Amino acid sequence: MRYRLDLTLRHSEGALTRVLGTTERRGFRPLSVEGDTQSDGDRWHLQMTVEGDRPGESLLQQLNKLYDCLDVQVQPCS
Amino acid sequence: MNGARWLVQALRAEGVDTLFGYPGGAIMPFYDALHGSSLKHVLVRHEQGAAFAANGYARASGRVGVCVATSGPGASNLITGIADAMLDSVPMVCITGQVGTPLMGTDAFQELDVFGMTMAIVKHNFLPRSVDDLPRVVAEAFRLARSGRPGPVLIDLPKDVQVADASHLPAHVPAEVDPVPQPSEPALHAALAQLALAQKPLIYGGGGIALGDAVDAFREFVEASQIPAVLTLKGLGALQDDHPLNLGMLGMHGSRAANLAVQACDLLFAVGARFDDRATGKLAEFAPHARVVHLDIDACELGKLRFADAPVAGDIATGMRRMQAAAAAHLHGRHGPARLAWRDACTAVKAKTAPRYDAPGDGVYAPSLLRRLSALAPDAVVACDVGQHQMWVAQHWAFDHPRRHLTSGALGAMGFGLPAAIGAQMQDPSAQVICVSGDGSFLMNVQELATLSRYRLPVKIVLLDNQALGMVRQWQELFFERRYSEIDLSDNPDFCALAQAFGIEALHVDRAADVDTALETLLAAPGPALLHVAIDQNANVWPLVPPNRNNAEMMDEGGDADEATRLVAADDPDIAALQAAAAQPVARRAHVPQAVSAQAAPASASTQTYTGDAAPVPAFAPSPRIPS
């Protein structure tokens, strides 16, 4: 199943690595990653598409626990 | 005032009184600042010992344990102890020196990307590149370590930040711990609705009970509801060992009564437990007749491995207290008589399947020795290593509080015991601290005998020596056709001479008749002491749920893995009844969210948006690279 993730992260050292590492370690394969810090310099805005057999809810909860993750939304997508 | 001196003052402000560490190049400014400070630094003899000692300090006290190491090998040596804290939710702050920021990324001497290396085994880590970052980083590190589900936080501290002028920084002010999330009314209501339907409810209590300071609330709930309880390895002591409703530990080496009750119950109330594979056995057949109520502070655990009919995210103590009166009232409801009959059936099986300690022969029977020591030192804090002796401690020690049982649960890290015992003794010099180890585990951090000796800590070591890696040997015997591969330790050193070389009193016992005297002599020793116990290499841990079997399929001594394993004589009517209930065909749907379908996911306890089965939204254009 595929999911679309919309994340807002602190623009701090390691934030991107943490998100990608958590995503993969918790059983999801990133298919696309796109993001920028243009609108406000102290935030990353990241969009990802991932696929995995586990519920998107579990990834949402794990990402939500990351200190650098200020907001995350997960939606199924085709 | 430089960054290092500011940090020492900040640690004091955070309430730190003891550090465990080992100096080296990149952390030298910090050690210079420590010199003459009021912080007590315990010099270990290997950085892994520092991490485990801080870990044991934190487990026994509930306070944040702090360890320190230099960059490179010093930091990498901490890693196992940090990982252990992560997996068992132990609050720690770990400080590592780092090469100066101009040298970072140049493969400098003793430079390692510790920040990157530890990312997967910490709750969070920080790399302050400016001294101005220190106030925020230190406050956040301690706040995070303590808040919610506790865990380790690492600060990788470049050397130039340590020596930078910090005279302009304000005095450190600790951050408030996050408010404890409270269970919602609808979730509690749903949980009580499930409980009200149950005729055969069972509580499955885990390490979260102690972490949430919920031991009293848990005991009061059990007492009021009269629901029998099984406990995980880390939950042991949450209910008094001799409490009638305590059926013991569940899982691979769980008690017969606990495992049969789990498999027969119609409602499983998981409290601060996480459905670990060593507890559940074959997950798809775990508690097959049960609906699940799951109370945990960490919403990630709800529905992770087992669908929860009623997930409750939030503080365990509050949840237990808020549900107590209604759960007690259920006893007077329509299922009251069935509840009491179930309770009595469980306690009858517990009585009839209790361990026996009258092993034949003249040799020392380890379970019997541990039971005896438990009676002689009922208030002791016990730090275990990992292996057969760890399971014997779990099965046979009468724990009355979870913080008296320090064990590497999730990571299963050999070498944990001795340094954890040192940490536990440092946090309470008056405590009776006992390290139970095996001959394999003990040599993994044997250098900490020097620490024990230097500080004259009165830790008592019980070394159960079967001249083998016993747990591996047991598995090779049972599941690998007795092909014993690399488990022989018959060339062990003379452990008594070894201890004495460190200035530690030592004695030896190898006959059952001498055990009482040996234990009394050990406990009477004023300082550190080691009791070397020779045990039978063929002694195994029983019962045992073989891999990929359900928890009712327990092997006992002489059992055969292939025939698995109705262990107990079924001619006893109480036991047979519980076995029959466990073995009934499962009428309901599959309970495991078949690791896992989206449809099986529980309702979100988060405030974040989750649309579940809503109409799919179009995928956006894929991008193969992370933008720079």
Element (H, E) at B343: helix B336-352
Please name which of B94, B33, B407, B357 lies closest in space to residue B236, comparing C-alpha atoms.
B407
Phi then psi for residue B83, to 5 deg, are -60, -40
- Given a contact cutoff of 8 angstroms between Cβ atoms, the answer to whether B20 and B65 are in contact is yes
Distance CA B600, CA B172 (A): 47
Please tell me the predicted confidence (pLDDT) of residue B162: 98
Global pTM? 0.93
Distance CA B404, CA B548 (A): 31
Chunked into runs of 10 residues, chain B (628 residues) has average pLDDT values of 98 98 98 97 98 98 98 98 98 98 97 98 98 98 97 98 98 94 98 97 98 98 98 98 98 96 97 97 96 97 96 98 97 96 97 92 97 98 98 98 98 98 98 98 98 98 98 96 97 98 98 98 98 97 94 83 51 85 74 43 33 32 31
Contacts of A21 in chain B (CB under 8 A): 119-120
Pull the structure tokens for residue B515.
């055990």
- Given a contact cutoff of 8 angstroms between Cβ atoms, the answer to whether B256 and B349 are in contact is yes
**Chain A CA closest to residue B600:** A55
Residues facing residue B270 across a β-bridge: B204, B294
Residues 559-598 of B with CB under 8 A from A: 593, 595-598
Q: Does B609 sit within 8 Å of A75, measured CB to CB?
A: yes
Helical H runs in B436-551?
Answer: 439-442, 449-454, 470-479, 495-501, 515-524
Whole-complex ipTM: 0.96
Helical H runs in B382-494?
Answer: 388-396, 417-427, 439-442, 449-454, 470-479
- Cα-based angle B94, B96, B99 (whole degrees, multiple of 5): 160
Distance CA B439, CA B450 (A): 18
- Given a contact cutoff of 8 angstroms between Cβ atoms, the answer to whether B183 and B315 are in contact is yes
CB-nearest to B304 from A58, A71, A73 is A58
B1 alpha-carbon distance from chain centroid: 40
Please name which of B495, B447, B498 lies closest in space to residue B43, comparing C-alpha atoms.
B447
Q: Does A74 sit within 8 Å of B627, measured CB to CB?
A: no
Total CB pairs under 8 A between chain A and B:
117
Our CA dihedral for B560, B566, B567, B569, rounded to 10 degrees, sits at -130
Residues 119-138 of B with CB under 8 A from A: 119-120, 123-125, 127, 129
Contacts of A13 in chain B (CB under 8 A): 115, 127, 129
Contacts of B83 in chain A (CB under 8 A): none
Query: How long, in residues, is chain A?
Result: 78
Burial class (CB in 10 A: 0-12, 13-18, 19+), B557: exposed
Please tell me the predicted confidence (pLDDT) of residue B563: 53
CA distances from residue B586 to B250, B476, B549, B594 in whole angstroms, order as listed: 21, 33, 16, 16
Distance CA B239, CA B215 (A): 8
- Given a contact cutoff of 8 angstroms between Cβ atoms, the answer to whether B264 and B581 are in contact is yes
Contacts of A61 in chain B (CB under 8 A): 299-300, 606
Residues facing residue B155 across a β-bridge: B95, B126
Q: Does B303 sit within 8 Å of A64, measured CB to CB?
A: no
Q: What single-letter DSSP state applies at residue B513? A: G
Distance CA A38, CA A31 (A): 23
